[in-house]
Structure 1
């Protein structure tokens, strides 16, 4: 089981958000976003921020750092080590199973990810058959989008996808292509673009709060 940082916004949470960080960060990276995102009147939430394993990253001269998979080149069509992606998907599945064991209904679990973390959750969604509340994909892309396929029984979960127009790490056209690929595979993608680099911004957090508000109130 992956080590995690956790925050609960109230007693006996009935909703969970499992949030995967980006390359070189750790589970503490997005913990400060919780008070900025959560709104009065929301049900109690458990935020789960796992730490990725430490692994050598090829494009960084093999320097070990926390990463959900190795990056083997610059071409977005083949840069992700898919064995590593699949291993991280398995780790994510274990975290979801633990939330269900702790009393959270599967349909009350959101999967979120930034950059590498987002690539993992988007890959997972194409073969995930259990219910989910939704997917939050920030400054990210779908690995091997041209060859991606979605199994027939995959979950129908709404996707909030946001990206920076000046992102130097994952160029905007790569993210837009990924959003189009996800839509062509049958996912409901709500797309947002912001005048920022490889980061998050206040306007994005507000829009994500609106998106969550609709789903938390409906559930």
Structure 2
């Protein structure tokens, strides 16, 4: 499946870091970039102005069939219902697999530009883009595609597909965040349920990837993706990851389905500067 080329916002000086951000369903890379960069921190500056050495990468998903809306739309995978994310979950698998492999290729290319410094790369997204970025990260832990931790994993107003299955999988009391046991359980589930014919890497998995810091935020008044889904995602990630920061807010634009300005952008800036 052919994916469009990512939208790139180039650094204003020497390239030190990369931020890869995925759009929500029905949007695209350039549109998401424009919306994100039109928002400001409390100092009245947008994110690229605050981080001039950062390269910003906004991939665009393929157009794919929506079973719910009965039309082609720009989406990372086919999500049947956000009122009940358990309903017809099998529709998600092909899209998640295809999109994850595409984003992993982009992540690898950005690492090459940074001389292999995965620790200088941030990955995240908005709404369905958050859902896809989270699974890209979990797939990377299963496939050995990332050595060491990323700079950070971030998401806004989104959810985690198959969260209930992962909650059950990670319910054993002996598990601790960042452990090889947690990584092994995620890896086995990914290959059994989603990966299909994807081959495993010959490289051993570096469990330090699970020390990647995570920042998730969600509008408690979001009418499109319930804040309960965001809370569920953060709960599952806290069973896997060592550092997970969760923020709720009210009164953001887009009926609450967006990042609160300027407070939310101050938090994003602080996270990206760490």
What TM-score comes out, normalization by structure 1 length?
0.88
Paired position in structure 2 for 1:210: 270
Q: Work out whether 1:147 is the aligned partner of 2:153.
A: no
Helix, strand or coil for the counterpart of 2:68?
helix
Paired position in structure 2 for 1:171: 226
Helix, strand or coil for the counterpart of 1:126?
helix
How far apart are the structure 2 equivalents of 1:19 and 1:134?
Answer: 12
Map of 1:84-163 to 2, 5 A cutoff? 84-104=95-115, 105-129=117-141, 130=146, 131=148, 132-148=150-166, 151-152=183-184, 153=205, 154=207, 155-156=209-210, 157-163=212-218
Say whether the 8 Å CA contact 2:15–2:53 is kept in structure 1: yes
Helix, strand or coil for the counterpart of 1:19?
strand
Say whether the 8 Å CA contact 1:160–1:190 is kept in structure 2: yes
**Aligned partner of 1:20 among 15, 22, 30:** 22
Paired position in structure 1 for 2:260: 201
Say which one has the larger Rg. Answer: 2
How far apart are the structure 2 equivalents of 1:4 and 1:109?
Answer: 16
Structure 2 unmatched ranges of 5 or more: 38-44, 170-181, 185-204
Helix, strand or coil for the counterpart of 2:139?
coil
Say whether the 8 Å CA contact 1:139–1:198 is kept in structure 2: yes
Shift of 1:204: 0.8
Helix, strand or coil for the counterpart of 2:86?
coil
How far apart are the structure 2 equivalents of 1:70 and 1:11?
Answer: 39
Helix, strand or coil for the counterpart of 1:151?
helix
> Higher helix fraction: Structure 1 or Structure 2?
2
Deviation sequence 1:57-93 (CA, Å, 0-9, x none): 1111x21110000112342134551221121110110
**Aligned partner of 2:58 among 29, 36, 49:** 49
Sort the Cα spacing of 1:50 and 1:137 in 2 relative to 1 into closer, same or farther, 3 A. same
Shift of 1:39: 5.3
